[in-house]
Structure 1
Amino acid sequence: MNSLEIILIGIGLSMDAVGVCLSNSMVFKNLTLKKRLAMPLFFGFFQGLMPLIGYFTGEFFAQYITRYSRFIVFLILGAIGIKMLKDAFCTEEKCKENNTPLTYQLLFTQAIATSIDALAVGVGFSTLSVNIFAAITLISLTTFVCSYLAVYIGKKFGSLLENKAQLLGGCILVLIAIKALF
């Protein structure tokens, strides 16, 4: 498997992370530079870590994770998306009460949820005699770049959309959650 093929796999794997970064950047106003950089770092790290785990654990571990991965992703991203949708329709006073910040714990949860499918890719790599360290480096970098661009684009759209950004962000996460079931 050549570098271009692995980069294309990385782009495919990063699309859920891109959607989440867009949503986060649109919804969470006044993100610090640290949080804007943390998103692509978290997502890039976990998109690289999961294939590594899949590569070394092989079929045994992966069959149990992948069996339930759709439901795990659906529950995590669905719950976050529904909360965003609920918050989009709250009144001005209630919105001020419920204005939760983007936390590192939330980023950690989102990064794991969006990278579970990469575990199966790692299992596939083990059967193809792929240089796993080169592959996970390319996948991590690809995800980082795609996620970083999504953070930038999401910030711009969030400013343009203002209050509707929460609604759009929630819809994106719910759609990714539903997509995970199929």
Structure 2
Amino acid sequence: MNTISTLFLALAMSADAFAAAIGKGAMLQRPRLLEALRTGLIFGVIEAITPLVGWSLGRFAADYVTAWDHWIAFSILSILGLRMIWLGLRPDEEAVEKPQSHSFILLAATALGTSIDAMSVGASLAFLDVDIIPVAFAIGLVTCLMVSIGVMLGRMLGAASKHTVEIIGGLILVAIGSLILYKHLSGAG
């Protein structure tokens, strides 16, 4: 793969993580750059690892990985999204401040859900005899940058109602999962 193809692939792989990061940033109490970089690093590392896993599996079991990747992504993102929508629809029991940061587990689960498609890309690259290391590195680096920017952009949206932000963030995650599923089932992806 040439540099331009790798860059476009990395941008495409980071788009859904960027959208999720905007929601994550909006749900925080004025996140600082350090929190945005932490979130970007978590997403970037996971997004870099999944094509490596997909590439490895592609060498051994490509049919199995590509047969289920869209269902896994849809399930993870839908569960996280529906949870966010449910939290957004619940009435406030008492005024609760927005957290300063998200837990590692929540960020990792969201990152995994948005990076499942990178696993199938890695599996397909195994058949093209592509050197996966620079591709995975580029995907991870671009995702780290895009997610960090997304969190800070979400900070600007943070003035919106907590409920509205959670519902919109949840809808975005469900939409991303549904789009991944639709693309695979319709043959468009």
Q: TM-score, structure 2 length as denominator?
A: 0.83
2 CA distance for matches of 1:67 and 1:77? 18
Q: Flag the 1:169–1:6 CA change in 2: closer, same or farther, 3 A.
A: same
Indicate the residue corresponding to 1:19 in structure 2.
Answer: 19
Structure 2 residue aligned with 1:55: 55
Number of aligned positions between the proteins: 181
Partner residue, 1:128: 128
Change over 3 Å in CA distance of 1:129–1:66 after alignment to 2? closer
Q: Return the letter of the residue paired with 2:48.
A: G
User: Residues 69 and 116 of structure 2 are in contact (CA less than 8 Å); yes or no, is this contact kept in structure 1?
Assistant: yes
- Other-structure match for 1:82: 82
Q: Give the Cα separation in 2 of the matches to 1:155 and 1:147.
A: 12
Larger CA deviation: 58-67 vs 140-149: 58-67
Structure-1 residue corresponding to 2:29: 29
Task: Within 5 Å, give how 1:124-163 maps onto structure 2.
Answer: 124-159=124-159, 161-163=160-162
Q: Distance in 2 between matches of 1:123 and 1:86?
A: 35
Give distance in 2, aligned partners of 1:102 and 1:13.
22
The letter of the residue matching 2:133 is F
Extract unaligned runs of 5+ from structure 2.
183-189
SS at match of 1:93: coil
Asked if structure 2 preserves the Cα contact closer than 8 Å seen for 1:66 and 1:117, the reply is: no
Query: Residue 23 of structure 1 contacts residue 173 of structure 1 at CA under 8 Å; is this kept in 2?
Result: no
Higher helix share: 1
Distance 1:94 1:66 in 2: 45
Distance in 1, matches of 2:86 and 2:47, equals 29
State the alpha-carbon separation in 1 of the partners of residues 148 and 58 from structure 2: 31
> Partners of 1:55 and 1:79 in 2: how far apart?
26
Q: Could you say if the C-alpha distance between residues 90 and 52 of structure 1 is closer, same or farther in structure 2, counting changes exceeding 3 Å?
A: same
Alpha-carbon separation, structure 2, partners of 1:56 and 1:76: 22
The unaligned stretches of length 5 or more in structure 1 are none
- The residue number in structure 1 matching 2:186 is none
- 1:32 CA drift (Å): 6.0
The share of aligned pairs that are identical, in percent, is: 29
SS in 2 for 1:102: coil
Distance in 1 between the 2:52 and 2:77 partners?
Answer: 23
